[in-house]
Structure 1
Amino acid sequence: MGVRALTPLAAARETAGYTQETLAVAVKVERTTIGRWERGVQSPQPWQRRGLAGVLQVSLDELDDLLRRTARRPDTAIGPAVAAVRAPANVELVPATSISGDASDHAPAEVNVIHAAIPRLRRALDRLDLPDDGPTRTAANLHGDIIRASDDRLQSRYGHLARRLPDLIAELARAGQLGDATDRRHAAALLTLALRAADGIAFKFGYLDLSARLIDLMRSAAQLAEDPLLVAAVAYVRTETFFATGDLDTAARALELAADHLPALGTASSSAAFGALHMRAAVVAGRAGKPDRAADHLREARRAATVVPEGIYQGTAFGPASLRIHELAVAVELRDPLGIERAAAWQPPAELPAERRSHYFIDLARAQLTLGRHEDAYLCLQTARQAAPEHARTHPQVRQSLSTLLRTHTAPSSGLLDLAAWARAR
């Protein structure tokens, strides 16, 4: 058997005089982590790169090139945009220069699909009580379609959603007029989740009037479903409206009232709803500059997370990992350096929905800017793009962070300029 050729990163390690074991000690990771980096199945996180470049005595640009040439192309069985790392609590980062041809390059085309679908979506909403004639499955048979729609939203596949949602909403409206009272409640519950998926498009793509309308329709549908956990999920989503208007006091009151009206926390679903409302309220309090209130809400959310495994509950991701992501968001809102350092020492597991992971790295980029770590902020934005390109490209905080980076760099790198152009930042 021949000797296996060294990858570019492994060759750089040997040139610098390190074994995998001694390099692991120098950069404070496990030896197996070095092995994964050198095999190209995982890349260093943004906050690890500066130290690794220093130990290997290369520039950050040279390290980026080494990682690009080392990186293994994603497994097509997983999907072309993101290859998930199997090890827990790690997210694979393929350097930005190696992602041409993946979903991020198709984002502009998907944006066109989404904007073209908005009139069809509005028409479906206009006719909820008078839906067009057409094939109508029972609510039970429509359940799988709703699961797929929720997954598309959570995984930031907005183009897929935009193509399918108008017809799905129309069919759910027809289903809601059939069957007995139980069937109609079931259809109303599914319609609530379909409307939430539609709001995932409307809010992120700037259709704030449509988003507000969808949230009102969600509230009505959840009440028809007679499901208090769905009502709580709508309260969680409704926070978007108050964020858009800056009415943080009303946002906090709405979330606290929703938490108070939840049924007894005897199930994982009810505990998850309670925890999700409190972690959302913590972010509201952080944005309002109320650290004590934020700490109180995080404490309640942690209590719920101790008895709830990470998962999707009524369309909302909740559990220990989701809570960690919100802890970072709160620290960023409060501009709390110690809280940022504590929260940023963790990595979101690859099993989390793409939109959640993208949110984490978008917030981490803001945190790095707060700490003056501009290169790390840029790398975090690249990671957010890789995790959920359609989400990152439309997120206003991505553009804000990129605009800050452009202003503070007298000679921006080609990578930063490319990312800014892709996100339409100035």
Structure 2
Amino acid sequence: MPDKDSPHIGTRIAEERTRAHLTQRGLAGRAHVSLSILSKVESGHRPASPALIAACARALGIESSTLMGQPYTDALRVERFGAPLAAIRASLENWGDVALDEAVPPRPLAEITKDVNHLGSLRRSAAYLDVATKAPALIDELVEASHRYEGANRERAHRLLAYTYRCVHDVAHKLGHLDLGNTILARMSHSAERSDDPYMVTLTAYLRAQSCFNTGRHEVGLRLMSRSLKEVEEAAAAGEVAALCVQGNLRLRATMLAARSQDSDQAGAEWAEAYETAQRLGRDTQNYVLSFGPTNTAIHKIAMEVELGEYGTAVQSARSVRFSREFTQTYPDRVGHHFIDLSRAQLWTGDRAGSEASLHRARKAAPQQARFHPHARETVLALRRAERQSSQTLSNLAHWMGL
């Protein structure tokens, strides 16, 4: 049975603070956070918000993932991620302009494309293990194709390779292997620049900004988004669907970066721009680079409100969100992430039963995402600490997460 006193983010903050020879008051001053809130977080009486985690991490000179306990080594071992992750690392050595003398000839690009598209659907399902297992062979094959083909076919091979790296980056980042994720981004950038596809280059910047959540350099991420938005502005104004999808996602990422910085004015303004783009698009659109639409924009509003600490508003906003059957089947990762965000808001508003129910819905939508998401795990620990006697379903959920 999992222990209610299992290490949580607060205990890790206290450990790192002690290691840095800082008092609570000293860390609170350096991180510009409330001493009272920091004390409650360290004692486990208050969940740590992402903004507080990022502030403490920067003040301590470490990454946020350290405070969140990522990667979750024991759980990854149980799920048998070791060999696939090692294969990914090995595949990343095969890149650039160095051709292998005895490499197996690649299949026609039309056949490879089908497998890459399937990999994309696995990514949207948050099927991390399947992506990690299938991607290394595709990477080797597409690297070889990029050497053997010329002209438009070479560019196409690089475009497919960049997208494959995008899928693998999701796995590395979500599992907490952030250094591996940075290596993947470097490989992706190399292929994106050779793909003759400006949106692949923009996608690389979009993913670069994701790492800013871990380092706490939100201003860097916002600068990246601002620059990328200028690059798609003309095509989006002309109504090009791919450009609108990219523009909307860049605005949503800027929304979350501003919210994590606790800048409610900029977060609200960025979300309003994303909403306008979603209205122009008029539908949830699955695009080859970044999918976008009204539903994704709506759930980001709730995520924004959670990051800003507006928990009651977030719960209220969630009541108007409805997922179509098509959206649920196409984007289970987004559905799962929504319920993880909602569970956090419900916990803060005292609705522990609702919080637990949302976590179960997140697990149903995207199991591996729920199991390895730090905020889902932290919410489970907070629910167990808050209950004198945990429900059997909550205990089972904690056990399943490996807490």
Instruction: State the TM-score, normalized to the length of structure 1.
Output: 0.72
Aligned mates of 1:244, 1:162 — CA distance in 2 = 22
Aligned mates of 2:75, 2:310 — CA distance in 1 = 36
Structure 1 gap ranges (5+): 1-106
CA contact (8 A) 2:315 2:342 kept: no
CA contact (8 A) 2:123 2:131 kept: yes
Instruction: Give 2:343's aligned amino acid.
Output: A
Q: Provide closer, same or farther for how the CA distance between residues 315 and 403 of structure 1 changes in structure 2, counting only shifts above 3 A.
A: farther
Larger Rg: 1
Shift of 1:276: 0.6
CA contact (8 A) 2:75 2:401 kept: no
Equivalent residues in 2 for 1:177-192, closer than 5 Å? 177-192=147-162
What is aligned with 1:122? 89
CA contact (8 A) 1:124 1:166 kept: yes
CA contact (8 A) 1:113 1:163 kept: no
CA contact (8 A) 2:335 2:362 kept: yes
Q: How many residues align?
A: 319
Instruction: Give 2:187's aligned amino acid.
Output: L
What is aligned with 2:177? 207
Aligned mates of 1:344, 1:330 — CA distance in 2 = 12
Shift of 1:206: 1.8
Shift of 1:357: 0.5
Aligned mates of 2:265, 2:288 — CA distance in 1 = 29
CA contact (8 A) 1:312 1:318 kept: yes
Equivalent residues in 2 for 1:116-265, closer than 5 Å? 116-129=83-96, 130=98, 132=100, 133-262=103-232, 263-265=234-236
Aligned mates of 1:272, 1:111 — CA distance in 2 = 37
- For the aligned residue pairs, the C-alpha RMSD in angstroms reads 1.9
Instruction: Give 1:118's aligned amino acid.
Output: L
CA contact (8 A) 2:205 2:224 kept: yes
Instruction: State the TM-score, normalized to the length of structure 2.
Output: 0.76
Aligned mates of 1:192, 1:178 — CA distance in 2 = 17
Q: Provide closer, same or farther for how the CA distance between residues 109 and 254 of structure 1 changes in structure 2, counting only shifts above 3 A.
A: closer
- For residues 189-230 of structure 1, the C-alpha deviation after alignment (integer angstroms, 9 at most, x for no partner) is 111110011111111122111001111221221111121211
Aligned mates of 1:316, 1:420 — CA distance in 2 = 33
What is aligned with 1:287? 260
Corresponding residue SS for 2:194: helix
Aligned mates of 2:373, 2:362 — CA distance in 1 = 10
Match status 1:415 vs 2:388: no
Shift of 1:140: 3.3
Identity %: 29
Q: Which segments of structure 1 move beyond 4 Å, counting only runs of 4 or more?
A: 107-111
CA contact (8 A) 2:172 2:181 kept: yes
Match status 1:377 vs 2:355: yes
What is aligned with 2:249? 276
Larger RCO (CA within 8 A; separation ≥ 6): 2
2:298 pairs with 324, 333, 339, which one?
Answer: 324
Structure 2 gap ranges (5+): 1-73
Aligned mates of 1:387, 1:187 — CA distance in 2 = 32
CA contact (8 A) 1:325 1:348 kept: no
Aligned mates of 1:204, 1:338 — CA distance in 2 = 27
Structure number having the greater helix percentage: 2
